[in-house]
Amino acid sequence: MATAVKLGMDEIISVVKRVVESEFNLELSTDAEISLDSIAIVKTIVLLEEEFGCSFDEDVVRLEHFSSIRKISQLISELEEE
């Protein structure tokens, strides 16, 4: 993933939390378990791709990567390092 500025984990978490909470009208803690169905995951991916200017490869789109704000943020951080 190529971004103009590499973000720290706290910044990534903040953005992911804002996107997920506003889209699904939720209030979440960083480590709270969230249950997104496949449609919600796709919607989240699209929003995050727009927000971070990245794209998620099919091989990283797994339910376990979208089970909490922290796990989504870790995935984005890993993509940012590639």
Reference 19, options 63, 64, 39, 49; nearest CA is 49
Range of the domain at 37: 9-81
pTM: 0.84
Q: Assess if residue 3 is contained within a domain.
A: no
- Tell me what pLDDT residue 6 has: 67
Q: Is the model's pLDDT at 12 over the cut of 90? A: yes
Q: Assess if residue 4 is contained within a domain.
A: no
**Location of structure tokens 């990283």:** 60
Check which CATH number belongs to the domain holding 50 and give it.
Answer: 1.10.1200.10
Number of domains in the chain: 1
- Cβ contact 69:13 at 8 Å: yes
Neighbours of 64 (CB within 10 A): 8
What gap in Å lies between CA 1 and CA 40, rounded to an integer? 22
| Tokens read off for 5 | 């500025």
